[in-house]
Amino acid sequence: MPAASQELIRNINNNLILESILNYGPISRADLSKKLNLTKATISAIVQDLIDHSLVVEIGSKDTHVGRKPILLCFNQKCAYAISIDLNAEYIAVYLSDLKGEKIYSSRYKNNLDSATLLEKLKAIIKHIITLVPDSKYGVVGITIGIHGITFNNEVIFTPYYNLTELDIASDLNKTFNIPVYIENEANLSVIGEKTFFNDYSNIVNISIHTGVGLGLIIDNKLYTGYSGFAGEFGHSIVVPNGKPCPCGNNGCLEQYVSETSLLRHYSQLKGSEIKDIDVLISDYLYGDIEANQVIKSFINYMSIAVNNILTTFNPHIIIINSAITTYLPNIIEKIKNSMNSRMSKYINIVPTTLQNNSILLGGVYIVSKNFLKIDNFVLSSKYD
pLDDT for 164-173, tens place per residue? 878 889 999 9
Do 153 and 257 fall into the same domain?
A: no
Contact between 137 and 373 (Cβ < 8 Å): no
How many Å apart are CA 362 and CA 55, to the nearest integer? 20
How many Å apart are CA 211 and CA 161, to the nearest integer? 8
How many Å apart are CA 2 and CA 107, to the nearest integer? 51
Q: How far is CA 382 from CA 156, 196, 198, 320, 349, in A?
A: 33, 9, 7, 16, 17
Q: Show the domain range for 143.
A: 81-172
The pLDDT of residue 211: 86
Which of 213, 192, 194, 207 is CA-nearest to residue 336? 207
Do 157 and 283 fall into the same domain?
A: no
Provide mean pLDDT across the span 78-102.
Answer: 94
By percentage, how much of the chain surpasses pLDDT 70? 92
Q: How far is CA 40 from CA 10, 36, 226, in A?
A: 14, 10, 42
**14-28, 140-154, 298-312, 333-347: which range is least confident on average?**
333-347
Do 9 and 149 fall into the same domain?
A: no
The pLDDT of residue 385: 44
pLDDT for 39-52, tens place per residue? 999 999 999 999 99
Q: How many residues does the chain have?
A: 385
Do 231 and 317 fall into the same domain?
A: yes
Do 144 and 208 fall into the same domain?
A: no
Domain closes at, from 153, 172, 191: 172
Residue 9 confidence (pLDDT) above 60? no
Which of 288, 300, 294, 285 is CA-nearest to residue 336? 300
The pLDDT of residue 384: 45
Domain of 339, CATH number, reads 3.30.420.40
Cα 196 to its chain centre, rounded Å, is 8
φ/ψ (deg, to 5) at 210 = -135, -125
Alpha helix segments (H runs only) across 62-168: 115-130
Of the pLDDT bands very low, low, confident and very high (cuts 50, 70, 90), residue 149 is: confident
Contact between 156 and 165 (Cβ < 8 Å): yes
Please report which helix (H) or strand (E) contains residue 6, including its range: helix 3-24
Provide mean pLDDT across the span 335-364.
Answer: 84
Alpha helix segments (H runs only) across 315-342: 324-328, 331-338
Cα 310 to its chain centre, rounded Å, is 19
240 occurs within a structural domain: yes
pLDDT for 297-333, tens place per residue? 999 999 999 999 998 889 899 999 999 999 999 899 9
Do 230 and 273 fall into the same domain?
A: yes
What total number of domains does the chain contain? 3
Provide mean pLDDT across the span 56-64.
Answer: 77
Provide mean pLDDT across the span 231-259.
Answer: 91
Q: How far is CA 248 from CA 12, 159, 255, 308, in A?
A: 44, 9, 10, 23
144 occurs within a structural domain: yes
Instruction: Say which amino acid occupies 10.
Output: R
pLDDT for 195-219, tens place per residue? 999 888 999 999 999 888 999 999 9
Residue 5 confidence (pLDDT) above 50? no
How many Å apart are CA 338 and CA 347, to the nearest integer? 13
159 occurs within a structural domain: yes
The pLDDT of residue 2: 45
Instruction: Please measure the distance between the N-terminal and C-terminal CA atoms of the chain and give it in whole angstroms.
Output: 39
The pLDDT of residue 342: 62
How many Å apart are CA 293 and CA 284, to the nearest integer? 8
Do 255 and 346 fall into the same domain?
A: yes
The pLDDT of residue 369: 95
Of the pLDDT bands very low, low, confident and very high (cuts 50, 70, 90), residue 65 is: low
How many Å apart are CA 234 and CA 265, to the nearest integer? 20
Do 44 and 103 fall into the same domain?
A: no
Do 280 and 156 fall into the same domain?
A: no
The Cβ of residue 347 has, within 10 Å, a number of other Cβ atoms equal to 9
Q: How far is CA 62 from CA 20, 84, 247, in A?
A: 17, 36, 59
Domain of 30, CATH number, reads 1.10.10.10
